[in-house]
Chains A and B, each alone.
Chain A
Amino acid sequence: MRLVLRGITKRFGSMVANDSISLTVEPGEIHCLLGENGAGKSTLMNVLYGLYKADEGEIELDGKVQHFTGPGDAMAAGIGMVHQHFMLIPVFTVAENVMLGNETTGFAGSLDLDAASARVTEISERFGFHVNPDSLVEDLPVGVQQRVEIIKALSRDAELLVFDEPTAVLTPQETDELMDIMRQLKEAGKAIVFITHKLREVRAVADRITVIRLGKVVGEADPKASNAELASMMVGRPVELVVHKDPPTLGDAAFVVKDLRVVDAAGHVHVNGLSFTIRAGEVLAVAGVQGNGQTELTEAILGLQDDVTGSITLDGVELVGRSTRKILDAGVGFIPEDRQVDGLVPGFTIAENLMLNRSFKSPFVKNGSLRLGALREFAQKKLTEYDVRARDIDALATNLSGGNQQKVVVARELSRDLRLLVAAQPTRGVDVGSIEFIHKQIVATRDSGIPVLVVSTELDEVVALADRIMVLYRGQVVGIVPADTPRETLGLMMTGERPKDLKDVVA
């Protein structure tokens, strides 16, 4: 199926999310939409999928102009969407999920589950998906769940498949498998739109690349273009993709974790017997697929988990059992993995957010009242220093872009007298320009002789920042390896396998 988008414009009030975007996707082609977060890629796809109505422009499928009023129309026309967040019901089986919304029924409305199962099996075999129609979705690994989404689209005879940031939740191996699946679908004549901001993936599978910046098409790129070329097209200026850092100047073993165990309220063990050391002036990066205990590890350090056993010491001082406030006061800086949830108060101004963890004592507090003058002066300074693009310090955090929000969090955490920095997913959902800046700040923190713990599910980030890499799997350490360990080895370790000849590097 041939898709033509012609002059699609979508406005939200005064803001133009898509500015007359034109695009052609041929059958048997993988067409990459490359752009930063907020460039308007998802808006465009939501227009295509019938979730938004375009203000101007038209959608044409195989030469026929379409007028979608909802996703139902789009599906009927042969468009399938694989969402970033799976639209699956965890307690249903694969077959039940696939038939959902498209149920075939028998006598008195009884569900024809056998037909659905057969359909799943047929599609699964045709493309080598290895999915059992009777498994419960919640029991399946993330990569397989994603395949269920693909089967769901294919079972409705989709000829055009849209993948919206599909690799965010996958391991490197699963990502490779997904790439293979996309190639197979392409061979079968499907048209594929692949939305991403990851350059490596684009270059691996794309037949054509369209780069979108600030709601406009800035041009087509050659799949053989270098990373640097693609990145500068995406950002609109030359970007440094490599983090320059000198060899570390190591100090004492400042941060020591021993036999850490974290159990949640339901009794699940998330961190099981974790031990590691970070020396002053060193970055230890934690690699691993999301959900393998990273979140609980950082929360345990910050005193945000209730059931923690073992020991965490910073400069010889025990942190386990202390309140979050005392831990922060001990000099722990914390960039939480989700700034929307743990990092910022959306309805507060930038200035108010900058004092969030210093509401008890000076410099912004005197005798129980706020020192607004000192706060404003500080905020003004940080706004410039951290290049936060905002109207002024009274702009609400909720109105900032992701990168600027993150800069506010980073500015707040790095402005204190730190003894340890814990940075979880420091650049998630942040534009390339800001990533560069935040990485530089983290390296600068390390160079000032502070131990740094970086947690990231992006292997590129881990490799770029780490002096040593610790791989976590199901709450346990698979190994602690040097930063120059090959990606294949790291990918393997992320699945829980420990190479036989592997030697841990000790701090």
Chain B
Amino acid sequence: MSDTDKPKQDDAPVGAPVDVADDSTADTRADAGADAGADREARSRSMLREIASGDALSGVLAVFLAVFVGSVMIAATDDGVRETLSYITARPSDFFSALWDAISGAYSAMFRGAVYNNLVTDPAQQWRPLTETLKFAGPLILGGLGVGLAFRAAMFNIGGRGQMLLAGGAAAWIGFRFDLPMIIHLPLAVLVGMLFGALWGGIAGLLKARTGAHEVIVTIMLNYVGYYLVFWALTKEWLLATPGSVNPKSPPMKDSAILPKVLGDRFNLHFGFIIALVAVAVVWWLLNRSTLGYRIRAVGENPNAARASGINVGRTYTVVMMLGGALLGLAGVNQVLGTVTSGVSVDIDAGIGFDAITVALLGRSRPLGILAAGILFGAFKAGGFTMQASENISVDLVLVVQSLIVLFLAAPPLVRAIFRLPAQEAK
């Protein structure tokens, strides 16, 4: 047995639940000189890390489990299934065929709505659902990157909604107020949106760096501040209000500020998705190849060691939150200048600010994981509507499945127990 085979002998009590047994084998717990407070902090940090950056397998299993539980719920709420259940002993085959019809009907409807529709003949229309999925995926990916980046610095950015709203409002203001050539107008609107998102996220980072205020509380509160700020702006004509209208909605965007369609006017897919793909590449480079990303990861994994190595931890927090805010800002811009160009209102974020947390968790805070998770959730969104329309299954069921995914992600030991996987061992 070589040295490397030993368990983490003098590992600090990392406290990830699965590792507890191994940690206490440490012969030299004396080494971890941290006091109880620091210990607890480290524990919650590593808990967050475990949830936000576990292995890909448990992500896949969580999705699988959630879909399974979803199927049970579909079956339980289906009239045909309930009817046949009453005489299941007499004719069990009826029950099972009803069960199959309900579940397969639901998921095939979802597939038709999200990927490929075999019920229409026009080849272009057949693939239209996929473009819808990608359209929905764009802001989810951008938002997921914003939240995931903060996760890598061990920060929880719950302020997606506020950051999106502020950014969307600012981009809209540029978008409908000015008459400029597209080559200036569109980039300007996008950049101003990002800037406001960065500002809104940066406040939380700066407060944490300077005063130790917890970013979870600050970002939640900034969601309210942002919401009502935009609401107020929608009542002022010099800001976002439509002249002569009492609706809290801004005028529509000028054509020169609208993200162009990628596949022509027959499809809704706009350049927001391309921006999301570029953002995935940029964030990947940032995290894995840049010095800033290196420092972000160092601060996220062990702020004490980062500080002792001359890294300014506070500044890193601020920068991370600004970058995360900018990415969520892009998600907001994506909505305002791409998906809903008829004008900004306070529900423009469409829940993406919070869905982004789920996407980041499912994507394990890795850019490519977030890309995959974003597309999956885009498919849920696009397919959910078809499911409701054609099979009369509530679209809320999709939300249940999404929530279950997070639930299973947050409880890796549960998933491991269900699939009888071995507990994670020290390598």
Least distance between B358 CB and chain A CB atoms (Å): 23
Asked if B9 and A338 make an inter-chain contact with CB atoms under 8 angstroms apart, the answer reads no
Least distance between A212 CB and chain B CB atoms (Å): 10
Point out the residue from B27, B297, B306 that lies within 8 Å of A43, measured CB to CB.
B27
Asked if A345 and B305 make an inter-chain contact with CB atoms under 8 angstroms apart, the answer reads yes
Q: Which residues of A contact B290 (CB under 8 A)?
A: 368-370
Q: Which residues of A contact B304 (CB under 8 A)?
A: 341-342
A17-B24 Cα distance, complex, nearest whole Å = 12
Point out the residue from A14, A304, A341, A356 that lies within 8 Å of B33, measured CB to CB.
A341
Asked if A370 and B301 make an inter-chain contact with CB atoms under 8 angstroms apart, the answer reads no
Asked if B30 and A325 make an inter-chain contact with CB atoms under 8 angstroms apart, the answer reads no
Point out the residue from B2, B302, B312 that lies within 8 Å of A345, measured CB to CB.
B302
User: At the interface with chain A, which of B10-18, B63-71, B347-355, B389-397?
Assistant: B10-18
New A-B pairs, 9, CB < 8 Å, besides A12-B21, A429-B30 = A17-B25, A38-B28, A43-B27, A51-B24, A214-B1, A334-B308, A341-B12, A342-B308, A404-B3
Point out the residue from A38, A169, A342, A395 that lies within 8 Å of B6, measured CB to CB.
A38
Whether A348 contacts B21 in the complex (CB less than 8 A), given A368-B292, A391-B4, comes out as: no
Interface residue tally of chain B, by bracket?
A: 35 or more
- Residues on B facing A (Cβ under 8 Å): 1-12, 14, 21-22, 24-34, 38, 49, 285, 289-292, 294-295, 297-298, 301-302, 304-312, 422, 425-427
Q: Which residues of A contact B21 (CB under 8 A)?
A: 12, 52
Q: Restricting to A9-44, which residues have a CB under 8 Å from any CB of B?
A: 12-17, 37-43
Point out the residue from B25, B297, B298, B311 that lies within 8 Å of A46, measured CB to CB.
B25
Q: Which residues of A contact B295 (CB under 8 A)?
A: 359
In the complex, the 4 A-B pairs of residues with the closest C-beta atoms, listed nearest first: A325-B310, A13-B425, A38-B9, A357-B309
Asked if B301 and A389 make an inter-chain contact with CB atoms under 8 angstroms apart, the answer reads no
A17-B426 Cα distance, complex, nearest whole Å = 12
A327-B312 Cα distance, complex, nearest whole Å = 13
Asked if A37 and B28 make an inter-chain contact with CB atoms under 8 angstroms apart, the answer reads yes
Least distance between B420 CB and chain A CB atoms (Å): 16
Q: Is A459 an interface residue, CB under 8 A from the partner?
A: no
Point out the residue from A16, A46, A165 that lies within 8 Å of B24, measured CB to CB.
A46
A15-B25 Cα distance, complex, nearest whole Å = 12
Asked if A356 and B30 make an inter-chain contact with CB atoms under 8 angstroms apart, the answer reads no
Interface residue tally of chain A, by bracket?
A: 35 or more
A13-B12 Cα distance, complex, nearest whole Å = 20
Q: Is A296 an interface residue, CB under 8 A from the partner?
A: no
Q: Is A281 an interface residue, CB under 8 A from the partner?
A: no
SS class, residues of chain A in contact with chain B: loop
Q: Which residues of A contact B292 (CB under 8 A)?
A: 368
Q: Which residues of A contact B6 (CB under 8 A)?
A: 15, 38, 401
- Residues on A facing B (Cβ under 8 Å): 12-17, 37-43, 46, 51-52, 84-85, 165, 168-169, 214-215, 302, 304, 323-329, 334, 336-348, 352, 355-357, 359-360, 365, 368-370, 372, 389-391, 395-396, 398-405, 428-429
A40-B312 Cα distance, complex, nearest whole Å = 39
Asked if B28 and A429 make an inter-chain contact with CB atoms under 8 angstroms apart, the answer reads yes
A342-B33 Cα distance, complex, nearest whole Å = 11
Asked if A429 and B7 make an inter-chain contact with CB atoms under 8 angstroms apart, the answer reads no
Asked if B32 and A324 make an inter-chain contact with CB atoms under 8 angstroms apart, the answer reads no
Asked if B3 and A324 make an inter-chain contact with CB atoms under 8 angstroms apart, the answer reads no
Point out the residue from A52, A346, A400, A401 that lies within 8 Å of B12, measured CB to CB.
A346
Least distance between A404 CB and chain B CB atoms (Å): 6
Query: B10: nearest residue on chain A (CB-CB)?
Result: A402
Q: Which residues of B contact A40 (CB under 8 A)?
A: 27
Q: Which residues of B contact A359 (CB under 8 A)?
A: 291, 294-295, 298, 309, 311
A341-B33 Cα distance, complex, nearest whole Å = 8
Q: Which residues of A contact B425 (CB under 8 A)?
A: 12-15
Q: Which residues of B contact A214 (CB under 8 A)?
A: 1
Q: Which residues of B contact A37 (CB under 8 A)?
A: 9-10, 27-28
A332-B365 Cα distance, complex, nearest whole Å = 35
Whether A403 contacts B3 in the complex (CB less than 8 A), given A302-B308, A359-B298, A368-B290, comes out as: yes
Asked if A340 and B10 make an inter-chain contact with CB atoms under 8 angstroms apart, the answer reads yes
Q: Which residues of B contact A342 (CB under 8 A)?
A: 304-305, 307-308
Point out the residue from A85, A324, A346, A347 that lies within 8 Å of B310, measured CB to CB.
A324
Asked if B32 and A389 make an inter-chain contact with CB atoms under 8 angstroms apart, the answer reads no
Asked if A13 and B307 make an inter-chain contact with CB atoms under 8 angstroms apart, the answer reads no
Q: Which residues of A contact B31 (CB under 8 A)?
A: 338-340, 402, 428-429
A399-B10 Cα distance, complex, nearest whole Å = 10
Asked if B33 and A337 make an inter-chain contact with CB atoms under 8 angstroms apart, the answer reads yes
A405-B27 Cα distance, complex, nearest whole Å = 15
A327-B307 Cα distance, complex, nearest whole Å = 12
Whether A340 contacts B12 in the complex (CB less than 8 A), given A348-B298, A359-B294, comes out as: yes
A42-B312 Cα distance, complex, nearest whole Å = 38
A-B contact pairs, 29 of them (CB 8 A): A15-B5, A16-B1, A37-B28, A38-B9, A38-B27, A39-B27, A51-B24, A169-B30, A302-B308, A304-B308, A323-B310, A323-B312, A325-B312, A328-B309, A336-B308, A338-B31, A338-B32, A339-B31, A340-B11, A340-B32, A342-B308, A346-B12, A368-B292, A390-B3, A400-B3, A401-B10, A402-B10, A404-B3, A429-B10
Q: Which residues of B contact A355 (CB under 8 A)?
A: 294
Asked if B8 and A343 make an inter-chain contact with CB atoms under 8 angstroms apart, the answer reads no
Least distance between B69 CB and chain A CB atoms (Å): 31
Asked if A168 and B30 make an inter-chain contact with CB atoms under 8 angstroms apart, the answer reads yes
Least distance between A336 CB and chain B CB atoms (Å): 6
Asked if A365 and B14 make an inter-chain contact with CB atoms under 8 angstroms apart, the answer reads no
A417-B42 Cα distance, complex, nearest whole Å = 33
Least distance between B282 CB and chain A CB atoms (Å): 12
Least distance between B209 CB and chain A CB atoms (Å): 14
Q: Which residues of B contact A340 (CB under 8 A)?
A: 10-12, 31-32, 34
Whether A347 contacts B301 in the complex (CB less than 8 A), given A12-B425, A399-B8, comes out as: yes
Asked if B10 and A341 make an inter-chain contact with CB atoms under 8 angstroms apart, the answer reads no
Point out the residue from A17, A46, A428 that lies within 8 Å of B7, measured CB to CB.
A17
Query: A336: nearest residue on chain B (CB-CB)?
Result: B308
Query: A353: nearest residue on chain B (CB-CB)?
Result: B305
Whether A357 contacts B310 in the complex (CB less than 8 A), given A46-B25, A395-B4, comes out as: yes
Q: Which residues of A contact B38 (CB under 8 A)?
A: 341
Q: Which residues of B contact A345 (CB under 8 A)?
A: 297-298, 301-302, 305-306
Point out the residue from B26, B30, B298, B310 that lies within 8 Å of A328, measured CB to CB.
B310
Least distance between A306 CB and chain B CB atoms (Å): 12
Least distance between A314 CB and chain B CB atoms (Å): 15
Asked if A346 and B426 make an inter-chain contact with CB atoms under 8 angstroms apart, the answer reads no
Query: A388: nearest residue on chain B (CB-CB)?
Result: B3
Asked if A365 and B291 make an inter-chain contact with CB atoms under 8 angstroms apart, the answer reads yes
Asked if A399 and B27 make an inter-chain contact with CB atoms under 8 angstroms apart, the answer reads no
Least distance between B133 CB and chain A CB atoms (Å): 34
Least distance between A291 CB and chain B CB atoms (Å): 10
Query: A355: nearest residue on chain B (CB-CB)?
Result: B294
Asked if B426 and A356 make an inter-chain contact with CB atoms under 8 angstroms apart, the answer reads no
Least distance between A413 CB and chain B CB atoms (Å): 10
Q: Which residues of B contact A43 (CB under 8 A)?
A: 25, 27
Least distance between B148 CB and chain A CB atoms (Å): 16
Query: A352: nearest residue on chain B (CB-CB)?
Result: B294
Point out the residue from A13, A16, A42, A401 that lies within 8 Å of B4, measured CB to CB.
A401
Whether A346 contacts B14 in the complex (CB less than 8 A), given A15-B7, A42-B25, comes out as: yes
Q: Could you say which of B8, B14, B22, B285 has the most chain A C-beta atoms within 10 Å of its C-beta?
A: B8
Point out the residue from A165, A169, A334, A370 that lies within 8 Å of B294, measured CB to CB.
A370
Q: Which residues of A contact B305 (CB under 8 A)?
A: 341-345, 356
Q: Which residues of A contact B3 (CB under 8 A)?
A: 389-390, 400-401, 403-404
Whether A400 contacts B30 in the complex (CB less than 8 A), given A344-B305, A352-B294, A370-B289, comes out as: no
Least distance between B139 CB and chain A CB atoms (Å): 28
Query: B2: nearest residue on chain A (CB-CB)?
Result: A389
A374-B201 Cα distance, complex, nearest whole Å = 35
A395-B21 Cα distance, complex, nearest whole Å = 22
Asked if A165 and B9 make an inter-chain contact with CB atoms under 8 angstroms apart, the answer reads no
A40-B25 Cα distance, complex, nearest whole Å = 8
Least distance between B41 CB and chain A CB atoms (Å): 11
Least distance between A319 CB and chain B CB atoms (Å): 13
